[in-house]
Structure 1
Amino acid sequence: MNTGETTVLVVEPDLDTQRVYRQRLIHDPDIKLIGICSSIASATALLAQTNCDILFTELNLPDGDGLDFIRRASEDLAVQSIVAVTSKNSAADIATAIENGAVGYITKQDSDLHDVGNYIRILRAHGSPMSPTAARVLVDALRRKPTVKPVVSVAASRPAVANPLSPRETEVLNLLARGMSFAEISSVLNISCHTVTAHIKKIYRKLQVHSRGEAVYEAAQLGILPAM
């Protein structure tokens, strides 16, 4: 995340909660509040037009599943950091939100939204804001999960490396590897050039590279792409 002004979007249908967000964010000189939306449709339209560093979203939304919206915002709309701020606190909701791209989870029952500025500072420091209830739900779920001893093949030449890229980022990288321009990738994936650029910046950051060639080479070494 950049060290300058941080762009923030809030998706929250409750008017009183919207008011708290606005009071806490609008006067912070390091934050640009690009909008407070009540629905997925309005948030999606706004994200298609502007860059967003941080998205705070409720999961109970009037026009769709907030968990699906998190996935779309992360993969297709190039939002860098997403935090669920919600009254839902089941292990399934928390796990799905994280799997879909959320980097934080705040339950409204034990959280004071006046601390939203602190959540942003945590994100800017590459941390993950997590309320105590959400953290305990995850810990309890992991404790209940049966441990399966892995079978290791003696013939394995090297340990498997998890793909650090999202499915959309992997798509973009595959097209980059084929020599396509940003405009061509935009056309093939039906996304804006701005979104393509945002995906590529995230790819470079995750692979710790600075060019197309380095990204393709590193991805091939990790097994994300076929060896060149």
Structure 2
Amino acid sequence: MLNQEISVLIAESDLETQRLYRQRLIHDPTIKLVGICSSMSSANLLLSQTSCDLLITEIDLPDGNGADLISLALTDYGVRNCVVISAKNTASDIKAAIDNGATGYILKGEPEAIDIAACVRVVASGGSPISPPVARVVLDSIQAKKGRDNRKKDGARVVASPNNPLSPRESQILELLAKGMSFSEISKTLQISCHTVTAHIKKIYRKLQVHSRGEAVYEASQLGILEK
């Protein structure tokens, strides 16, 4: 795409920021500015009427979330790449945008946000423009997931014991609790509802005479039900 004209659509509600983006892009011969929209609905409408290579969006739009617009652009309108340029810097906003398909995330106030043409060229060359604070959030998320996965691998297992008052299903759920799985993860693993998982866990707590996950794992270990 480097030697071709890159078509860009922008979703941004702030008028001064719109002016800056237009000023930076309008005279670049390698970039075709398809339009600048002030809302998610207007961007959605324009996407349905034209095609573009790159969507640049703010997360905080007057009538919706930019992460949802990214999903629409990629799945419904065949947009190749989507980049966020936003003042929103929380881990949840960053993760939502990336999970929905964003290939870059720039924070307003960072130098990359001002040089928007350079940002477009990075995407066109196959790169991912990303602010250093965002990169840190992404790395922290990856490391946290790795830690959770390792804890699940290191979990205890239920062994046959005459002291085990639990049913086979309850024993199975206890084993997953000991691996550090959340209720929703247990639900997905066993393909049962979260309500059913909660009901089983209440029975486990009652039978072991405990009130928490940690107490349940400890008591089961003491009874010889769980072992590493």
Shared fold by TM > 0.5?
yes
Question: Following TM superposition, by how much is the alpha carbon of 1:89 offset from its aligned partner in structure 2, in angstroms?
Answer: 1.1
Larger radius of gyration: 2
Q: Report how many aligned residue pairs link the two structures.
A: 151
Residue deviations 1:140-190, cap 9 Å, x none?
A: 233333242487xxxxxxxxxxxxxxxxxxxxxxxxxxxxxxxxxxxxxxx
Residue deviations 1:184-217, cap 9 Å, x none?
A: xxxxxxxxxxxxxxxxxxxxxxxxxxxxxxxxxx
Secondary structure of 2:130's match? coil
Counterpart in 2 of 1:25? 25
1:96 aligned partner, one-letter code: A
CA contact (8 A) 2:57 2:84 kept: yes
Change (3 A) 1:125 1:112: closer
CA distance in 2, matches of 1:29, 1:2: 12
CA distance in 2, matches of 1:99, 1:67: 9
Question: Following TM superposition, by how much is the alpha carbon of 1:112 offset from its aligned partner in structure 2, in angstroms?
Answer: 4.6
Change (3 A) 1:4 1:112: closer
Secondary structure of 1:48's match? helix
CA contact (8 A) 1:3 1:124 kept: no
Percent identical: 50
CA contact (8 A) 1:110 1:132 kept: no
CA distance in 1, matches of 2:70, 2:29: 27
CA RMSD of aligned residues (A): 1.7
Matched, 1:80 2:64: no
CA contact (8 A) 1:20 1:113 kept: no
Counterpart in 2 of 1:213? none
Correspondences of 1:64-213 after superposition (within 5 Å): 64-145=64-145, 146-149=147-150
Counterpart in 2 of 1:36? 36
1:54 aligned partner, one-letter code: L
CA distance in 2, matches of 1:122, 1:83: 11
CA contact (8 A) 2:9 2:33 kept: yes
CA distance in 1, matches of 2:80, 2:107: 21
CA distance in 2, matches of 1:105, 1:112: 10
CA distance in 2, matches of 1:148, 1:2: 39
Counterpart in 2 of 1:12? 12
TM-score (norm 1): 0.62
Question: Following TM superposition, by how much is the alpha carbon of 1:113 offset from its aligned partner in structure 2, in angstroms?
Answer: 3.0
Question: Following TM superposition, by how much is the alpha carbon of 1:2 offset from its aligned partner in structure 2, in angstroms?
Answer: 6.7
Residue deviations 1:111-136, cap 9 Å, x none?
A: 45331111111111111000111111
CA distance in 2, matches of 1:113, 1:106: 6
CA distance in 1, matches of 2:143, 2:37: 37
CA contact (8 A) 2:106 2:112 kept: no
Secondary structure of 1:133's match? helix
Secondary structure of 1:141's match? helix
CA contact (8 A) 2:9 2:34 kept: yes
CA distance in 1, matches of 2:129, 2:100: 16
Counterpart in 2 of 1:204? none
Structure 2, unaligned stretches of length 5 or more? 154-228
2:66 aligned partner, one-letter code: G
CA contact (8 A) 2:112 2:131 kept: no
1:93 aligned partner, one-letter code: D
Counterpart in 2 of 1:218? none
Counterpart in 2 of 1:169? none
CA distance in 1, matches of 2:115, 2:69: 24
